[in-house]
Structure 1
Amino acid sequence: MNLYFRFKLHLGAFVLLVLLNFSTAFGQSDPTGERRVTGTYVIKNATITTSPGKTASNANILIKDGLVQAVGSNINIPKEAQVIEADSLFIYPGFIDAAGNAGVGKPAEAERPSDFNPSNPPDEVAGITPWRSVLDYYDPKSTQISDWRKVGFTLAQILPDGGMLPGKAAIVIYGGNASSNVLANQTAMAAKFRGMGRGMYPGTQLGVMAKFRDLYKNAELSSQHSRLFASNTGLNRPEINKTLEAFYPVLDKNIPVIFEVSNDLEIRRALTLQKENGFNIILSGVTEADPVIDVIKAANAKVLLSLKLPDDKVAKADVANKSEEVQARTKRVKEAYELALKQAALLEEAGIAFAFTSMGARSADLHKNLKVMIENGLSEDAALAALTTNPANILGIQKFAGSLEKGKLANMVIMTAPIFSEDAQIKHVVADGYIFNYDTSKKKNGGNGEASVAVQGIWEYTSDTPAGSSGGKMEIKKEGDRYTGSITYDNPAGGGKASSEMKDINVSGNYLSFSFSVSAGGMNIDVNVSGDIVGEEFSGNMNLADFGSFPLNASKVPNQFNK
């Protein structure tokens, strides 16, 4: 947060809040989820999908103290049960994020010693901190968690931030603030092909591989020495090394290594390390699986596909009047873009049961990106499995999560229509027994992806951050079927206002999202904006990478252009 305060980035965002057009079964809108289902409840006459491919119509679900007791059309309803009518609603298991960082802060950088040697830096300076727990940097009250819960996520494995070995992961539930929300700690060791810079070892991917090999082999020797010392006499006392000891659960295959990968080359390198050493591996952030599907299957590696899809601007570019060279280059880019959209379908076709990771993705894009994957060959059952049963199996929590069955957590997503239909909206999310209610409205455009309100015009906004309140203007125009815009904000360098182009403006129903960049102190900071609108007012959040998510409000200036 220091950088945020230093540059005083009072940035704004434009968000749309969905209207409530029909009565709620749970009472008034309550996105805070402060009420918990602690008694016995029956949700009646809903269409309930207990797991992918298993759906019952006009069914009931019995819940007691946050656990599922029964699901079906002919269940015994206890006299003390509170009945909730859910006619016309659709219930699904709560979504599971197999690798996320919502609410996770960044540790302070370690200070370099006076005798610093870049060829052999201390572990902390080199980004090698596998003993750290992500929970030491986790804020369960973060608005980032609210953003992901709002789109259906109820559980997540959260990963620490840092260098090549940033620490251990944990599994948390997106429940109420009164709960500890921690389901399991030390669930995986995070790893990346990223050092702390080229001026220090390991600063390259090959350097990271060499360092990983060295640490793994030394950890094996250290573990053997410790066990021999514990059962024999006459041996030297083993050296205490917290880096090597952090590998012990990996050596014993009690936890996997979750390798963050960004392309097929990194997948091959991660699987090379796995083959050499024999640890269990999860590949996270996969975007280019097609060249290495056979390698993945041979390694029996678990796969977490990125929820982030590439930008489609070039794919939509009109190059009819451009040179042959430009046309050929654009064609190659379009082919690569189309292939990226098919990765989920290719994994399904290969029989690889994958899950999703939210790392680097925006919650606002979730349902849109899922529909794009389905349009490009992914089946709806496989898409739902990647959100529910598959991550539960990969994380080893299938005994209490991933489906709606007796004895499992009553984590649910309750929708107004079938999950992947155009008109589907989330009405309630139940996590850890806490009910989160969201406003919904019927789309006035028949679900064609256009705005049901006039978003074009000038909007005055205020944003509230720990540094105070500030504001500016957003000007949105419509050019054909595309939106363009600009946003003003307090200049980080001082001296009035600065402005930036609004990029990736996406309008669907009453929902809008966009991004923009801020130049501050010689670096560019990306700001993502998403949310909903009511009439001429909005409320929502802006998300700044590494700095958190902050609320904002805005009003449309009257008598402005609305074309």
Structure 2
Amino acid sequence: MKKVILSVLAVAALSLQSRAQETFPRNGVYDERSGLRAFTNATIYVDYQTKLENATLVIKDGKVAAVGTKVAVPQGALVVDMKGKTIYPGFVDPFSNYGLPAVARTGGGWNSPPQAESKKAGAFNWNQAIRPETHAVELFKVDDKAADELRKLGYGAVLTIHQDGIARGTGSLVSLADKRENQVVLLDRAAAALSLDKGSSTQEYPQSLMGSIALLRQTYLDAQWNAKNPDKEQNISLKAFTESNSLPQIFEVSNKLNAVRADKVGDEFGYQYIFKGTGDEYQMLPEIKATKAPFIVSLNFPDAYNVEDPYEARRLNLSDLKHWEMAPANPAMLAKEGVIIAFTASDMKDKSRFLPNLRKAVQYGLSEQEALKALTATPAKLIKGEKYVGSLREGMQANFVIASASLFDNSAVLLENYVQGESYKISETPNDYRGIYSLRIGSQPERKMIIGGSAEKPDVKIVATDTLKGTLLFSGDQLTLAFAPVKNGKESIRLSGWSTGKGFQGEGQNTDAQMVKWSAQLSEASTAQAKKAAAAKAAEKVEMGAMVYPFADFGRTAMPGSETVLIKNATVWTNEKEGKLENTDVLLKDGKIAQIGKNLSANGAKVIDGTGKHVTPGIIDEHSHIALDGVNEGTQSVTSEVRMADVVNHEQVNIYRQLAGGVTTSQLLHGSANPIGGQSAIIKLRWGQAPEKLMFQGADPFIKFALGENVKQSNRSPVYNIRFPQTRMGVEQVMIDAFQRAKEYEKSWTAYNKLSKSAQKKTAAPRRDLELDALVEILNDKRFITCHSYVQSEINMLMKVADQMGFRVNTFTHILEGYKVADKMKEHGAGASTFSDWWAYKVEVKDAIPYNAAIMHNVGVTTAINSDDAEMARRLNQEAAKTIKYGGVSEEDALKMVTLNPAKLLHIDDKVGSLKVGKDADVVLWNEHPLSIYARPEKTFVDGIAYFDLEQDKAMQDNQEKERLRLIQKMLAAKARGEKTQSAVVGRRGAQEVLHCEDVDNGAQETLYESEYHKN
């Protein structure tokens, strides 16, 4: 065996002869040998699906010259006998930063002044996060230390990307040979790179995920405009962006939701991205498959959590525990659904775990062929480098790796990696000493010694009256062994020896410090048995818990379905002219309210006894911030281009908790950090459905405006006093200016659209501006305003601005001084969505009174009670009931303030908000009077589906607790086996954020107004 290795090393010495670069002069003599050599008697994978036995591979000049079972060895070739070895194409990593400078992230502290404009000098893009003019090939430098680390994993080539910014420029396909840069670059511009992370940009915008998505969307539009109007503006960045769009588009995302979000942008502009994910794609498999995107998949599976401390273990979400168990199955689950996958080692800090995790992925269901394909052919094809790397066909780069056995055999090791025909030694073939031995130590009784584990990392057990673990270390044919012969004994027997071919012998020291001779005789039958046992263990079926929807606490193993439901003999609050009906039945069928009346019947219906119970429409929260990954893009005065629909997170548990409080519909609003904020999303709380399926279909679009302290950043650090506006007068001017620009923008498009087609070809089209598009929609009554407001002077101001500019304010939200201007609001046509009794939490609410809602209602203003708080939304029925105490509102009108009235404000009262035949079956069954503090929903239906059921909730919690305990026991067992663990506190995926109007996302969630309690 050693002789074969030495012959390979001898050939490796000759590999230094690589050809000179013809354009580079050299000092000294030339050595340009061809490196002709033939590897014979090998098992060769020409590609992932073509396996040849007893085959020959011939390489010359750093390329494959021939491969096959009948290849003649060329005259003069150095011959290397590969009997018993397997040759694979060199692996290709489609996502790395090899050879590129580290990304320097600077600035952005809490007290750092905001940077509104780019600091990059030159004719570049206005935003530093858009840097498509960056080309990896211009920054690349061979790094032999980093290359060696990758070569040891089997990699021969990588796509290297400067991973900085949203539009990151182009990446290069490079080999990992230790040569000059000009020789290792295979494709200088192999792919374009994108992300939603602004990277090293010190510019404030974007500050949020929705801002990043909006910036990317606007960049596509600007690049299109710039390409058609090169004489209007010279922009190096936009030109580079357009040029790179013809390349494969590799989009790095931080989670599966961002992949789905980014895919929508790609679809909008006609680009199919290749996503570099993080390993959680299986959690949204139908949506991931629907993107039709290939995925670059991480093999960085999470470690088990250290759950020995039960208090720390309770801090883990069930999803954290389940992800540890299920993550290794991610590649197999994707492949089974037909998703194209390629592997990357880029996320792995501990690169030694790459091959074990690859084999683990196979153990969890991925076929060996699919695994090899994901390492070689697929990544090469994705970046259009398949003529260079990914297989071993004539003319391709001589990139291949030599393994001691099948790559997926736990005992196999990588011996050598050839890159562009040059050999890089990885390791030697390990001697396999696993088996069962008869151990004799001096005159002591014979013991049984079992050497198990893997050939690379064997372990040992000594069996006598007790089974004892020992420490075992091999160095070639030499070994040392130590174990404590007595349970809990402190003294150890220490042995040193060598292999005899049929066992071991040597000398050692027993517990009495006496030198003794020892020997261990191998049992051949036992060796075979041990190997069979090891193989059987490797083939053990992986057991995993069930997938849940959503992948979060209170997720279900199966989604609830629509049923025909008949609720009998209940008190029914219709919110219609019929009022409150006693001893009445309600039939829900096909997602609609089918009948309301007495003595109803329906074949096949599920009958619920409603005696003593109450049925109401589902509660509607006009002002909410649940289910969002970020709430403010607070960097600019006007951010009407951002969309809350882009950042809806269906896994946030507050959806389920609010269903438990009877809420069925919520308007998800942008925060209050700027006068004109982002576009709203109206959702139905269909717990378990993906974000797109939460959207309230057919609902009018809304947008958030804001007045008062927040928009002028009164309570933020003084360094922020440079952003306009800083006064309430300035807020008015921002509004007027924005709508004046929108009017001029609309005129320019109107004029252009009136031109004939021939005239349009000769005339530059106006630049499309997403910010102004939204404002034009407001002017044309196609988008509607919900405005954060407190003080009467500002409420009056905005209504005057609206009258002046030709639009209407649909809803004033919070509106705590609404009682002062209710008559003017009614005249303007504005509604109100307010708190029941929150006051005194900041200066501008000092005049708030609990009679506010009742006064506005009595004047004739459509008035709703909202939450602006995830906890309050769970008891909006009680908040509505307070209007009975403060103002004497009737019970039915009080209930309408959280049902029909918010539906009217959101223009969805034709579908929800009351119980009427033909409306959506968004219905709540309460255990008693819905305005009572003792009331709680027993069932909450959305579209006739019981997304919350009190009885099922109890069973679900019991099952979840059992699942937690099962996973905790499994983790404890993993730790006992010696597997690495991570902290249950530091390592967890993180608690879900509860967001409010004033929260901003600046790399991490942080509170904008520290001095305020979180209501506004």
Kept after mapping to 2: 8 A contact 1:61/1:68: yes
**1:348 aligns with one of 302, 321, 335:** 335
TM-score when normalising by structure 1: 0.68
1:46-445 to structure 2, matched below 5 A, reads 46-106=42-102, 118-122=115-119, 126-178=128-180, 180=182, 181-196=184-199, 200-226=204-230, 237-251=231-245, 254-314=246-306, 317=307, 322=310, 326=313, 332-362=319-349, 363-442=351-430
Aligned partner of residue 6 in structure 2, secondary structure: coil
What is the CA-CA distance between 1:136 and the residue it aligns to? 3.3
- Which residue matches 2:578? none
Aligned partner of residue 7 in structure 2, secondary structure: coil
Distance in 1, Cα, partners of 2:316 & 2:52: 50
- Which residue matches 1:24? 6
- Which residue matches 1:6? none
Q: Per residue, is there more helix in 1 or in 2?
A: 2
Pick closer, same or farther for the CA change 1:346–1:429 going to 2, 3 Å: same
Distance in 1, Cα, partners of 2:239 & 2:308: 57
What is the CA-CA distance between 1:39 and the residue it aligns to? 3.6
Pick closer, same or farther for the CA change 1:204–1:331 going to 2, 3 Å: closer
What is the CA-CA distance between 1:441 and the residue it aligns to? 4.1
Pick closer, same or farther for the CA change 1:249–1:294 going to 2, 3 Å: farther
Aligned residue pairs, count: 432
Q: Per residue, is there more strand in 1 or in 2?
A: 1
- Which residue matches 1:552? none
Distance in 1, Cα, partners of 2:406 & 2:284: 34
Unaligned 5+ runs, structure 1:
1-18, 227-236, 458-477, 481-505, 507-511, 518-563
What is the CA-CA distance between 1:431 and the residue it aligns to? 0.8
Kept after mapping to 1: 8 A contact 2:106/2:202: no
Kept after mapping to 2: 8 A contact 1:47/1:59: yes
1:401 partner letter:
V
Provide, for residues 196-247 of structure 1, a one-character-per-residue CA deviation record: whole Å limited to 9, x for no partner.
5898111211110111111110100111223xxxxxxxxxx24210111111
1:426 partner letter:
L
Pick closer, same or farther for the CA change 1:389–1:193 going to 2, 3 Å: same
Moved more, 355-364 or 387-396: 355-364
Moved more, 369-378 or 130-139: 130-139
Moved more, 75-84 or 410-419: 75-84
Aligned partner of residue 342 in structure 1, secondary structure: helix
Provide, for residues 54-103 of structure 1, a one-character-per-residue CA deviation record: whole Å limited to 9, x for no partner.
21111111222222222222123322322221111110000000111122
When Rg is computed on C-alpha atoms for both structures, the one with the higher figure is: 2
Kept after mapping to 2: 8 A contact 1:34/1:176: no
Unaligned 5+ runs, structure 2:
19-32, 120-124, 435-451, 461-469, 473-483, 489-973, 984-1016
What is the CA-CA distance between 1:288 and the residue it aligns to? 1.7
Kept after mapping to 1: 8 A contact 2:5/2:428: no
Aligned partner of residue 226 in structure 2, secondary structure: helix
Provide, for residues 375-415 of structure 1, a one-character-per-residue CA deviation record: whole Å limited to 9, x for no partner.
11111111111001111111111223211122222210011
Kept after mapping to 2: 8 A contact 1:38/1:433: no
Pick closer, same or farther for the CA change 1:99–1:326 going to 2, 3 Å: closer
- Which residue matches 1:493? none
Aligned partner of residue 77 in structure 1, secondary structure: coil
- Which residue matches 1:540? none
Pick closer, same or farther for the CA change 1:330–1:204 going to 2, 3 Å: closer
Aligned partner of residue 75 in structure 1, secondary structure: coil
What is the CA-CA distance between 1:29 and the residue it aligns to? 9.7
What is the CA-CA distance between 1:282 and the residue it aligns to? 1.1
- Which residue matches 1:11? none
Aligned partner of residue 25 in structure 1, secondary structure: helix
Distance in 2, Cα, partners of 1:32 & 1:288: 46
Provide, for residues 97-143 of structure 1, a one-character-per-residue CA deviation record: whole Å limited to 9, x for no partner.
0111122212556999xxx8634445587332210112333221241
What is the CA-CA distance between 1:292 and the residue it aligns to? 3.6
- Which residue matches 2:41? 45
Distance in 1, Cα, partners of 2:287 & 2:395: 38
1:23 partner letter:
I
1:429 partner letter:
N
Distance in 2, Cα, partners of 1:290 & 1:88: 38
What is the CA-CA distance between 1:515 and the residue it aligns to? 12
What is the CA-CA distance between 1:341 and the residue it aligns to? 1.3
Distance in 1, Cα, partners of 2:281 & 2:980: 28
Kept after mapping to 1: 8 A contact 2:292/2:339: no
1:207 partner letter:
G
Aligned partner of residue 384 in structure 1, secondary structure: helix
Kept after mapping to 1: 8 A contact 2:191/2:383: no
Moved more, 354-363 or 189-198: 189-198
Pick closer, same or farther for the CA change 1:420–1:213 going to 2, 3 Å: same
Kept after mapping to 2: 8 A contact 1:96/1:388: yes
Distance in 1, Cα, partners of 2:166 & 2:293: 20
What is the CA-CA distance between 1:329 and the residue it aligns to? 5.0
Distance in 1, Cα, partners of 2:298 & 2:224: 32
Moved more, 103-112 or 260-269: 103-112
Aligned partner of residue 290 in structure 1, secondary structure: helix
Distance in 1, Cα, partners of 2:14 & 2:69: 31
2:115 partner letter:
P
Aligned partner of residue 346 in structure 2, secondary structure: coil
- Which residue matches 2:21? none
Kept after mapping to 1: 8 A contact 2:56/2:68: yes
1:188 partner letter:
A
Pick closer, same or farther for the CA change 1:516–1:378 going to 2, 3 Å: closer
What is the CA-CA distance between 1:179 and the residue it aligns to? 5.7
2:294 partner letter:
K
Distance in 1, Cα, partners of 2:52 & 2:354: 26
Provide, for residues 19-62 of structure 1, a one-character-per-residue CA deviation record: whole Å limited to 9, x for no partner.
97963332259699745482422111011111123211111112
Aligned partner of residue 453 in structure 2, secondary structure: coil
Q: Percent identity?
A: 26
Kept after mapping to 2: 8 A contact 1:101/1:160: yes
Aligned partner of residue 27 in structure 1, secondary structure: helix
Pick closer, same or farther for the CA change 1:327–1:218 going to 2, 3 Å: closer
Distance in 2, Cα, partners of 1:349 & 1:399: 27
1:481-520 to structure 2, matched below 5 A, reads none
Distance in 2, Cα, partners of 1:76 & 1:369: 38
Aligned partner of residue 148 in structure 2, secondary structure: helix
Pick closer, same or farther for the CA change 1:118–1:451 going to 2, 3 Å: same
Aligned partner of residue 424 in structure 2, secondary structure: strand
Kept after mapping to 2: 8 A contact 1:31/1:438: no
